[in-house]
Amino acid sequence: MALLEVKNLVKRWPNGRLALDNVSFEMRQGEILGLLGHNGAGKSTILGITLGMVQPDEGEVRIAGHSVQEHRSHALAHVGAIYEAAHFYDYLTGWQNLRVLCSLSGWWDEEEVKRVLKLVNLGERAHHKTRTYSHGMRQRLALAQALLPMPKCLLLDEPTDGLDPEGIREFREFVMKLRSDFGMTILLNSHLLAEVEQMCDRCVILKQGKKMYEGPVPSQDRQQSVYLLQTRDLAKAREVFSRSGVTFDAATRQITLPPHLAGHEVLKQLVEAEVRVESWQPHKATLEEFYLGLTGA
């Protein structure tokens, strides 16, 4: 069963703006899914609905089988989130801030808090005032708060915004560890294609509130189906392609194989047809090429 189910969400804001147009997708346990889209595509609206902070006009989100819209506290019992910018009381320490935030839910377990602070690498600074924290440390404190108590599902809304490259890498490695060590299911809302490429198993791409794609992160697709061919025997090559169902784009020299054919089989057919192959190499489309092609940006 899917751990998180986003079902037919429609959201129209009072100003008439259609933010979500029948969006559905699912996440299985232990999956890291990237939610991609341009500014205003509807990513944060999906997170807001998933956290029960925004009411959809149609559809629902279910977590571990519980509807967020009907049984919010049940559905969110095992969910942690970094949603929009984290705000802390600067005159309190990291530890005291966590105490205040946890008091809202009535949960507090000193040993668990110590463990999580150590996990996010804040153990030593936990008793310093947050006004002395760097942006990266604030993000780690926000993460600690999202992890108390340890959730099954983590929702991250652009968590690395404003972090320097080192901070981004540290954050990424940490999130990957949450999945490998705790089997956590993680929804990552991000603008950063490289981040999604490196962290996510699958992605959902939104454009103006509509889902344009749901599937594996394209550049990680293990099955090679696009090759680049250089040859002066184009006419002969075209005959081979039309017999075997291969698509050839003369402008880019790209050939796309049908699912039943492997690259070496097409290469063999070309050689048997006496096509002089000057170069033949696999072509990997990047997530950026795929994303820009899909969203028309």
Ligand X SMILES: Nc1ncnc2c1ncn2[C@@H]1O[C@H](COP(=O)(O)OP(=O)(O)OP(=O)(O)O)[C@@H](O)[C@H]1O
Using CB under 6 A as the criterion, which residues of the chain lie in contact with ligand X when the complex forms? 13, 15, 17, 19, 37, 39-45
Least distance to ligand X, CB of residue 158, Å: 7
DSSP string, the chain: --SEEEEEEEEE-TTS-EEEEEEEEEE-TT-EEEEEESTTSSHHHHHHHHTTSS--SEEEEEETTEETTTSHHHHTTTEEEE-SS----TTSBHHHHHHHHHHTTT---HHHHHHHHHHTT-GGGTTSBGGG--HHHHHHHHHHHHTSS--SEEEEESTTTT--HHHHHHHHHHHHHHHHHH--EEEEE-S-HHHHHHH-SEEEEEETTEEEEEEE-GGG--S--EEEEEES-HHHHHHHHHHHT-EEETTTTEEE--TT--HHHHHHHHHHTT--EEEEEE----HHHHHHHHHT-
Q: Which is nearer to ligand X, 130 or 139 (CB)?
A: 139
When the beta carbons of 210 and 283 are compared against ligand X, the nearer one is 210
Minimum separation from the CB atom of position 212 to ligand X (A): 13
Q: For the CB of residue 76, give the shortest distance to ligand X in the complex, in Å.
A: 19
Residue nearer to ligand X on the CB measure, 212 or 226: 212
* Residue 134 beta carbon to ligand X: minimum distance, rounded to whole angstroms: 23
Q: Closest distance between ligand X and the C-beta of residue 189, in Å?
A: 7
Whichever of 19 and 217 has its CB closer to ligand X, that residue is: 19
Give min distance, CB of 85 to ligand X, in A. 11
Question: Nearer to ligand X by C-beta: 21 or 221?
Answer: 21
Nearer to ligand X, 44 or 93 (CB): 44
